[in-house]
C-alpha cells in the first residue's frame, strides 16, 4: 500500500458551531465548514457538517458528511472521519483523516471505492486547511 499524488488541496472557514450534549466519551460539538480549492487541478468548493468529540484525555475524534461541487458542476459526496492528539486551548487542532468519495459523474467515477488519507488542520480562528492523497 502506498499514497498516490495529492488529490485534494483546499482551505476555508468554519461557518457554524453547535454544542451537543456531552456524554461519557467527552464533549460533542457539531461543526459546519466551507472550503475551496482544487481536486486534480480543477477548482471546487466543499461544504461539511461534522461532529467532533473531545475526549477526557484531550484527544479529538470527528466524523461527518460533505458535498463537493467542481467548477464544471460535477458533484462528489464525501464521508469522513479523523482523529487528533490533544492540543492546548486556542491552538491549531490537527486531524489525520480518511475520506470516502462517491460520484455519479463519469469524470470522477474512478474515485468510487477509493479512500483518501488526509491532514485537516483547523485553527482557533476557524480557518482550516485540508489536503488529501489517494491511498493505493
Here the CATH number for the domain that contains residue 127 is: 2.40.160.20
Place of cell 485540508: 130
Handedness of CA 131, 17, 66, 72 (dihedral sign): negative
DSSP state of 107: G
Q: Which range marks the domain in which residue 58 is found?
A: 3-135
Helix, strand or coil, per DSSP, at residue 58: coil
Q: Hey, which residues does 122 pair with through a beta bridge?
A: 93, 128
Average pLDDT over residues 131-136: 93
Instruction: Tell me how many domains the chain contains.
Output: 1
What's the pLDDT tens digit per position in 81-116? Answer: 999 998 888 899 999 999 999 999 999 999 999 999
Under the banding of pLDDT at 50, 70 and 90, the label for residue 1 is: low
**7-62 pLDDT, tens digit each:** 999 999 999 999 997 777 778 999 999 999 999 999 999 999 999 998 888 899 99
Amino acid at each position: 500500500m502506498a499514497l498516490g499524488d495529492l488529490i485534494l488541496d483546499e482551505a476555508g472557514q468554519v461557518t457554524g458551531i453547535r454544542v451537543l450534549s456531552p456524554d461519557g466519551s467527552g464533549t460533542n460539538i457539531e461543526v459546519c465548514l466551507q472550503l475551496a480549492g482544487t481536486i486534480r487541478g480543477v477548482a471546487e468548493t466543499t461544504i461539511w457538517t461534522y461532529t467532533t468529540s473531545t475526549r477526557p484525555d484531550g484527544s479529538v475524534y470527528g466524523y461527518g458528511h460533505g458535498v463537493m461541487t467542481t467548477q464544471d458542476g460535477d458533484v462528489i459526496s464525501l464521508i469522513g472521519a479523523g482523529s487528533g492528539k490533544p492540543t492546548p486551548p486556542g491552538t491549531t487542532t490537527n486531524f489525520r483523516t480518511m475520506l470516502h468519495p462517491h460520484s455519479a459523474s463519469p469524470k470522477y467515477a474512478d474515485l468510487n471505492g477509493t479512500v483518501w488519507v488526509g491532514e485537516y488542520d483547523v485553527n482557533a480562528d476557524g480557518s482550516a486547511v485540508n489536503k488529501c492523497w489517494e491511498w493505493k
